[in-house]
Amino acid sequence: MRDTPTPMDPRGLPHVTPPAIRLFNTMTMQKELLQPAIPGEVGVYVCGPTVYSYIHIGNARTFTSFDVVVRYLRHRGLKVRYVRNFTDVDDKIIKAAAETGEAPVELAARYVEIFREDTRALHLLEPDFSPRVSDHLPEIIAIIQKLVDKGHAYASQGDVYFSVSSDEDYAKLSKRNLDELCVGERVQPGEQKREPLDFALWKAAKPGEPAWESPWGPGRPGWHIECSAMSAKYLGETFDIHGGALDLIFPHHENEIAQSESANGVTFARYWMHCGFLDLEGAKMSKSLGNVVRLRDALTKVDPEALRFFFLATHYRHPLSFSDKALADAETRMEYFYETLRKVDERISGKDFGKGPLHGDPQRFFTEFESAMDDDFNTAGGLGSLSGLFGMMNELTDKPPVKDKALVGRTLHALREDVRRVSSVLGLFEDAPDAWLLRRRERAVRERGIDVAEVERLLGERTAARAAKDFAAADRVRSELKEKGVEIMDTPAGTTWKVAPLQG
């Protein structure tokens, strides 16, 4: 009997059965099974920041969402090539540099480092590639030239424009009607394009602006062409997942598709994913509207991990309402998680509970987590499964339903390991519990003006009263501390305290 040959992929390598991950494809407006072009490997491109200022929390939500997408794909055994660009050549950068007196390139480089510092605080992984426009002018000029040669673009007095009418499929992502788009559109003064919907691929140099040499004279690239050039360089002319914020669908992503597919004659991206808006007091967060909360400012008011939890507690495609109360609730929830982990670590650290059965069915929580994440990266559902997991850990540490300490210990150890696996996907629970809880307390102490020395003095009095079995005095100290906003917790490892949440 002959052996059945191992299936091979197009490169002659053994076929890899992909995990059953379904994602919502904006192009088809339905959930589809992720089937990478190269089995076992996924190329992901996410539109990064235009580095002329601090990013706002709406930007941060988008980048956090795709950080989790990449983490989860890797968790499921896929090899991911993740690209997120920096737009460091742009009208907004030139304007901001004129206001500060810096050279545009220097201002952009400064904000690149600020972006990296702020996103590291949010536990965002560095992409495999973070290309900058200023480093990819040859690739950009080459794709523009290809479009000109194929009749999809035209030069006009030093500018180069893409001819929208040359692309029969234009607006297939946004599903917009071209006739309706043309209503009210005009060729603006200074533009040399033929039709109102045509968009710039190359802009002729103006006095005092950065410029590069090209076949059409000195100038700089338009906004949309950069992503077509850089994604092709690092992921190929066709790749798997293109992501970004919802407001990039039109015109940015629409124009990327038009210029890439017109130049290369193949599908640009196989799946399109878009992150929903973040609302501030009922309005979409937008720099143009002036209702912006910068990520850097938010991180002075809330723990970075709590902010990350706030983002992930809502499905990435859904709108998310931002408020001080929502952040406070997220931080309180993270405090509960870390207090639970501290109790569990105190119970199991350094102990060997041997091999044997576990209590109940602790594995079900991680199975539920993966099931939620397989369904369009549903972090909200995934976090829901953690409620059961942490609830079981608290039950086993506070009121164990069984007397077998080894059984309880093995079960807690298994649950703690599942938390670590979840952590690698969600980027949460990465700190030592004691360190996180101390940081949280220190910030709350500053905000509420609590005298730590006075708290420690009163705790000393309570300890002495308890040692003398003067429990009435100990209770009076507890009440006095409660009035100061301090909550006492007696644990097997000793007495600790935290700042009680504000009521109302």
Residues in binding site: 47, 227, 252, 256, 287
> Token pair of 330, please?
């997220």
Contact predicate 338/429, CB 8 Å = yes
Binding-site residue positions for ATP:
287
> Token pair of 498, please?
């935290």
Contact predicate 33/21, CB 8 Å = yes
> Token pair of 493, please?
């490892």
| Alpha-carbon distances, residue 242 vs 72, 81, 454, 455 (angstroms) | 16, 12, 55, 53
Binding-site residue positions for Zn(2+):
47, 227, 252, 256
> Token pair of 21, please?
């991950």
Cβ density class 160-186: b for 16+ within 10 Å, e for less = bbbbbebbeebbebeeeeeeebeeeee
Closest CA to 125 of 56, 75, 50, 51: 75
3-class DSSP state of 190: coil
Helix (H) or strand (E) holding 449: none
Backbone φ and ψ for 357, nearest 5 degrees, come out as -70, 165
Burial-class residue 373 by CB neighbours within 10 Å (0-12, 13-18, 19+): buried
Sign of CA pseudo-dihedral 195, 197, 202, 205: positive
Write the CB contacts of 500 (distance below 8 Å, at least 6 apart in sequence). Answer: 482, 485, 486, 487
Backbone φ and ψ for 372, nearest 5 degrees, come out as -65, -45
